[in-house]
Structure 1
Amino acid sequence: GLADEIDIVSTTYTQQGGYEGARQLLARPRQPTAVFAGADIVAMGALEALSDAGLSVPGDISVAGYDNTTFASFSPISLTSVDQAGHEIGGNAVRLLLERIADRAKTSVQIKLSPTLVARRTTAGVSG
């Protein structure tokens, strides 16, 4: 199954961390077909490392990030990313906080938001 194919590298949530993490993955006996970074900024570092290694994205390897930050959509980057609806999360948090301040006896609520994949130019289908 897919679980046998997953390889995790722990690094810092920075561009440099993404660069170093991608270099670690590329040094492994089985090179990855895709990299999913925990933040878009980490994915940017991974993209740089892959470019330095002479790899084509998404031709040789796919890359995706998380956050769907503004710069992820900029050309020529056009990074595939998971959008966690950050503005909606923040808006709900402020609204709920203000409601709680106004009425301390108010019952708590649970809000569920589903992240969405924003596919762009750094990912491709699996070949072979």
Structure 2
Amino acid sequence: MSYQSAGRFGRIPPDTVSLLQRSALMVQEKVLPALPRSASEQVRAYVTETVLEFVLRDWRENENTEGLLFQDIEDIKSFVALAASLAGSDLNISGLPIFQATLRALLEDWLANWNSPGDPGPPGPID
């Protein structure tokens, strides 16, 4: 039995550490700016936590070791912008449940359908 030598984060492979660091940075630098300036710290924290949750699920469930690609970032920014728009002018209080439900539903669909092997991408118009 061989054991991997412990690195800075124990037995977590350096490639995994790098993937997680890049993902967190991309969410902070590229996704959060899609929120309106009036978004509270609570909303920003929710976006960070929720998007990273789905990125990590994509890594675990779909073996995505590339992390967020340009198109992924653009899609997620669009999800955040749409959810904020639907939440209305009171995003931080009465619109928050709408924002959260919309963002989570869009990310669920993105994870399940938009990134599946052989999937052509986002859905077309609903008939």
> Going by fraction, where is helix more abundant, 1 or 2?
2
Q: TM-score normalised to the size of structure 1? A: 0.23
Q: TM-score normalised to the size of structure 2? A: 0.23
> Going by fraction, where is strand more abundant, 1 or 2?
1
Q: Which of 1 and 2 has greater Rg?
A: 1
